[in-house]
Amino acid sequence: MGDAIQWESDLSKALARAKAENKPVLMDFFNPG
């Protein structure tokens, strides 16, 4: 499971994983300040 969130950084790759794993994509737009 890991001790951190395994963030993707590319939408195409995230969508490919979403299809393969039958999961939604959670897109987090963040401002590092």
Partner 1 sequence: MGCQQMGAVTFPDTRVIAFINQNVIPLRLPHDHKPLAEQFQIKWTPALVTLDAEGKEHHRTVGFLAPDELIPSLLLGKAKIDFDHEDFAKALVTLEDLLKDYPKSAAAPEAIFLRGVCGYKSTHNPKALKEIYEKLSKDYPDSEWTKRASPYRLI
Nearest-approach distance from CB 14 to partner 1, in angstroms:
4
Nearest-approach distance from CB 20 to partner 1, in angstroms:
9
Count of C-beta atoms within a 10 Å radius of residue 28: 6
Residues 8/17, Cβ–Cβ less than 8 Å: yes
Residue 22 carries which DSSP code?
A: T
| Footprint on residues 10-29 left by partner 1 (CB under 8 A) | 10-11, 14-15, 17-19, 21-29
Residues that bind partner 1 (CB under 8 A): 1-11, 14-15, 17-19, 21-33
